[in-house]
Copies of this chain bind each other. A is one copy, B any other.
Amino acid sequence: MAKLTMVQAINQGLKVAMESNSDVVILGEDVGRDGGVFRATEGLLDLFGGDRVADTPLSESGILGTAIGMAVYGLRPVPEIQFMGFLYPAFDQLVSQAARIRTRSTSRFSCPITLRVPYGGNVKSPELHSDSLEALIAHSPGVKIVTPSNPYDAKGLLLAAISDPDPVVFAEPLRLYRSVREEVPDGWYQIELGKAKVAREGTDVTVVAWGSLVPTCLRAAQLASQEGTSVEVVDLRTVSPIDEETILRSVTRTHRAVIVHEAPKTAGLGAEISALIAEEAILDLEAPVTRVTGYDAPFPVPVVERSYVPSDRRVLEAIRACVKF
């Protein structure tokens, strides 16, 4: 057991997966010799060779499209798309192809792909390097999406995703890649897909978040506790399918909910969760559900991005308002 950053945990997860299953192959831009632009695949080419770690042409639809063929033919490909904003050109292959091979063939074929893709802003990147597309994926049946908020979860969710018989988008929160180090077990372990985790227990209000914003929410919860408010933080871990049970269990106890995400507000995943809570637990609610989100504008340039991504302060304000309602 070693203290690892998230990106190191992902690297180790890939290594463990490739050691234990020779069908696991990696493909993508710069994943080989360069070890990935964030070093997530560092060292794997040397360990497993060019047949299993393939540097591909600059071609997102080609990467995902060939991965589909590989998966159908019995491999377990782990393609990488360099940033979530470059998933758009592969979007057709993701939601109209990978996600539907099973349906189209009435389960003769399946498509066990784990698509790794960094996402999220506040790291001073240029345009399209900061997008968060979880809502688009959650609205597309046949594919799952998972995002870790810490190194331990990253490895465990990654190995679960690679073991899953269906396509899973493994969304890696860019700004958490190296923000903390944490004990991560050496060998194989999995964190069950579809299960959220109560990351902090509390009684006054439930905050639901995932991936990049979980640390923000935990900090806001800490600040709130200094004001006497007890905040429960639910870390979704799997973004689709949503673990409705854990969310509803928490909210029916706290009677209040704040949902936090980085993507634009309108038709974001926060809308689904807010709707879910209002539809299933309206009689338990003592305040309207609140969303703290990115704005309905494309993710902006670096000089203002910190005002776009929900901050500790914005989450705290929402908690205060919700509790006061």
Binding site for B on A (CB under 8 A): 61, 85, 88-89, 91-92, 95-96, 99-100, 103-104, 127-128, 135-136, 138-142, 240-242, 263-264, 266-272, 274-280, 282, 285, 288-291, 295-298, 300
Contacts and interface: CB of A to CB of B under 8 A. Distances in A.
A139 B266 contact: yes
Contact of A267 (B142, B269, B291, B297): B269
Contacts of A141: 264, 266, 295-298
A250 to B, nearest CB: 17
Nearest to A134: B267
User: Quick one: copies of this chain in the complex?
Assistant: 2
6 contacts: A88-B91, A88-B96, A89-B92, A267-B272, A271-B272, A282-B282
A76 to B, nearest CB: 23
A298 B92 contact: no
Given A275-B278, A278-B278, 8 more contacts: A88-B95, A96-B128, A135-B267, A136-B267, A140-B264, A142-B297, A271-B271, A278-B288
Nearest to A264: B141
